[in-house]
Amino acid sequence: MKSAKTSKRILNIVIRLIICAGVIFAGFMGMQTLAKMKKPPAEVKQEEKPLRVEVLRAESGDVPITITGYGEVKTLNVVSVAPEVSGKIVSIHSRLELGEIISKGDILFKIDPRNYQASLSEARASVQQWKNTILRLKKQSAIDQDRLKTLERSRDLARGEFERIRQLFESDSVGTRTGVDAAERSYNSVADQAAQMAQAVELYPIQIKEAENSLTAARARQKLAKANLERCQVRSPFNGRVKDVSLEAGQYVSPGISVLTLADDSVLEIRVSLDSRDARQWLRFDGEGSGKTAWFSNLRPVKCKISWTEDSTGHHWEGQLHRVVNFEQQTRTLIVAIRVDAKSALSANGDSLPLVDGMFCSVEIPGRTLHKVIRLPRWAVSFENMVYMASDNRLKTIPVEVARVQGEETFVSSGLNPGDIVIITRLTDPLENTLLKITNSME
């Protein structure tokens, strides 16, 4: 009984195994059939895609360097006008307004002159009075000199008379003692008058000198009074533009207090700050200078190009490098001054604004010349001073030495040879040895 059951169980297991094997075999055969029905994909040929670039041929040459700086246009001469005398304003110039141009010599304003006219009249009278005093003293001196001669002669006669009377009385007993004493008194009186007159004559030169000194002082007061009277009319010292004014008719003014400001626009100046390294390398200096002062006295006065920053592509003006103003130690910059005269500041054809006080401008200063350098666009040289060049239509990266970056150009002094093909297309981390396709002509 047990053996029949065991045989039946084994038979069932075998049947199951056969069924599983059949299912697996059918699946395998179906997969093979489907695999044979699928077509293999077409084989794609791998081709290297070239990088499209523009290039230029490197050429060596001499390049004049231009130093660029910025500064504000200023009027060179600005004068604050202040009265030199006090008083009430009685009249002012009819065009004394901001921005007006006042001609040289025009009266800007007048101060009430009456007090100063009176002072001048008084000074003139004092001068005339001292002149008369000197004349009187000189005439009196001449008269007293003649009187002195007369008194000296009278003294000599009185002395002779006294000696004769005294001798007669003492030797011959002729006359009386009273007569002798009377003769002596007469002699002493005349002698005293002569001495007084001699003293007066000797003092006349001193008195005349004192009177002359007083006359000099009176003349000085007269000149001062005349100058103060002239100062009542304040005139324009040059053809000036009214830059500031605080003056009205009837106003009382005091000496030294500024009431208006005039600007002389005939000469303008721009002070430009330059990097000290640029100044050292590229500014032009002639020889050793004057040798008298330790300063930049030998700066070459080259012509400069001036552009208004608000219209950099418009009209340009011409100025001249004039001097070194200062060296700023903290910022390591050199301050230079550019002068522009009125003729250069005006537009040649009148279709543009003139160069005027207050404009902020860029200034291009011609410097020294770089010799045997290769000129490239600024973007053709990376920040690491690397240049991409084409060699056998493949990209090559080479290091270079940059002499100067100026505007949109870079000047390479070494690392490239004339005739090298330099890539000027902007590239970002290209692969070395990349295949290239040149899209422009190098002619």
Residue 178 resides in a domain: yes
Residue 76 resides in a domain: no
Residue 102 resides in a domain: no
pLDDT of residue 365: 93
Residue 290 resides in a domain: yes
pLDDT of residue 44: 60
Count of domains for the chain: 2
Task: Give tens-digit pLDDT for 148-200.
Answer: 888 888 888 888 887 787 787 777 777 777 877 787 788 888 888 888 888 88
SS (H, E, C) 307-337: EEHHHCCCCEEEEEEEEEEEEECCCCEEEEE
Look at the pTM and tell me if it is higher than 0.75: no
Task: Kindly state whether residues 269 and 407 are assigned to the same domain.
Answer: yes
Q: How far is Cα 100 from Cα 245, in angstroms, rounded to an integer?
A: 11
Task: Kindly state whether residues 211 and 267 are assigned to the same domain.
Answer: no
pLDDT of residue 42: 64
Q: How far from chain centre, in Å, is Cα 126?
A: 50
pLDDT of residue 16: 78
pLDDT of residue 40: 66
Task: Kindly state whether residues 163 and 290 are assigned to the same domain.
Answer: no
Specify the CATH number for the domain of residue 337.
2.40.30.170
Residue 439 contacts residue 53 (beta carbons within 8 Å): yes
Task: Kindly state whether residues 291 and 393 are assigned to the same domain.
Answer: yes
Task: Kindly state whether residues 120 and 171 are assigned to the same domain.
Answer: yes
Task: Kindly state whether residues 301 and 198 are assigned to the same domain.
Answer: no
Residue 17 resides in a domain: no
Residue 415 resides in a domain: yes
Residue 63 resides in a domain: no
Supply the range of the domain harboring residue 324: 262-438
Task: Kindly state whether residues 304 and 192 are assigned to the same domain.
Answer: no
pLDDT of residue 277: 86
Q: Categorise residue 393: left if φ over 0, alpha if ψ from -120 to 50, beta otherwise.
A: left
Residue 362 contacts residue 307 (beta carbons within 8 Å): yes
pLDDT of residue 340: 94
Task: Kindly state whether residues 286 and 433 are assigned to the same domain.
Answer: yes
Neighbour tally for 288: CB within 10 Å: 8
Domain boundary among 173, 208, 230: 230
Task: Kindly state whether residues 398 and 308 are assigned to the same domain.
Answer: yes
Residue 132 resides in a domain: yes
pLDDT of residue 350: 58
Residue 306 contacts residue 316 (beta carbons within 8 Å): yes
Low-confidence ranges of the chain (pLDDT < 70): 1-5, 38-46, 287-292, 347-351, 442-443
Domain boundary among 206, 230, 254: 230
Domain boundary among 213, 230, 247: 230
Task: Kindly state whether residues 220 and 364 are assigned to the same domain.
Answer: no
Task: Kindly state whether residues 306 and 189 are assigned to the same domain.
Answer: no
pLDDT of residue 186: 83
Task: Kindly state whether residues 288 and 423 are assigned to the same domain.
Answer: yes
